Structure 1
Amino acid sequence: MLVSVFLALFLPCAGMSAVFLVYICLLCYAANNDENQPELPEPPVKAGQTKGLSPSDLEKLPKVTGKDLVLAGDCAVCLDEIESDQPARMVPGCNHGFHLECADAWLSKNPICPVCRAAIGPELFNPPEIDPC
């Protein structure tokens, strides 16, 4: 009986110890292999990736207050309400409005409207002159 108690306690402990030692060896092997590997090069930049608007282009976009916005009272960038006295920026063409800081942060990285994805191109900054004749 004493032998069966000994085996019932010893065998599970020995088995778990063996599994633990194998795990530690695998961790050491993986750590040594990571140190010997060269660093991966940076992934290439997508060809279709565009840059946002410049600060001078952002200044050309209309600034209004929250009460002057035509469409919606919520900023689609930060999802917060645009108060009537807060400065806002309106995207020409689609007339969607956003907090001034939110719009500038978004448009400096993406030259499209955050709501409708309308492109904000150079034609919106330099409208064609109409001859009064």
Structure 2
Amino acid sequence: MIDSVLLALFLPCLGMSAVFMVYMCLLWYATTHRPQVALPSKPSPEKGLSASQLEKMPRVTGKELLMGSECAVCLDEIENEQPARLVPGCNHGFHVECADTWLSRHPMCPVCRAKLDPQLLNPCENPC
């Protein structure tokens, strides 16, 4: 009778231990033998404007701005006598330093995200 009680308690423990060991082996195998999946790479960021292209962009003073006097890059007011840079095409204005920093990294207007057309920066001398 004692033998049957011990077997009744021992066999379920032995079975659960075997199931646990199989689970641990499968878990180990799954973590160490993963297929090498190539993660999608980030698209290469667009290159900004060169220093020579930035110099070709129009410069005005703060009082000549038509579309407002707040610089969207630094969120500060462009004073009347401060130099400002206009983005060709959309005519948004920014502090010269702010615009040059932004446009050297991103070839688009910080306000409307309009792409800068290289032909606006390199106009032909003769009619094209």
Rg larger for: 2
**Paired position in structure 2 for 1:57:** 53
Question: 1:84-95 residue pairs with structure 2 within 5 A?
Answer: 84-95=80-91
Q: Which amino acid aligns with 2:112?
A: C
Quote the offset at 1:123 in angstroms.
1.1
Q: Which amino acid aligns with 1:123?
A: Q
Q: Which amino acid aligns with 1:127?
A: P
Q: Is 1:116 matched with 2:112?
A: yes
**Root mean square deviation, CA, Å:** 1.9
- Post-superposition Cα deviations, 1:76-96, rounded to whole Å, max 9, x if no partner, equal 000000000001000000000
- Give the structure-2-normalised TM-score: 0.64
**Paired position in structure 2 for 1:22:** none
For 1:51 and 1:45, locate their aligned partners in 2 and report how far apart those are by CA, in whole Å: 17
The share of aligned pairs that are identical, in percent, is: 63
Quote the offset at 1:44 in angstroms.
8.4
Q: Which amino acid aligns with 2:56?
A: K
- Give the structure-1-normalised TM-score: 0.61
**Paired position in structure 1 for 2:65:** 69
- Give the ranges of 4+ consecutive aligned residues of structure 1 lying more than 4 Å apart after TM superposition: none
2:127 to 125, 130, 133: 130
Aligned length: 89
- Structure 2: where are the runs of 5+ without partners? 1-38
Quote the offset at 1:122 in angstroms.
1.0
- Structure 1: where are the runs of 5+ without partners? 1-42
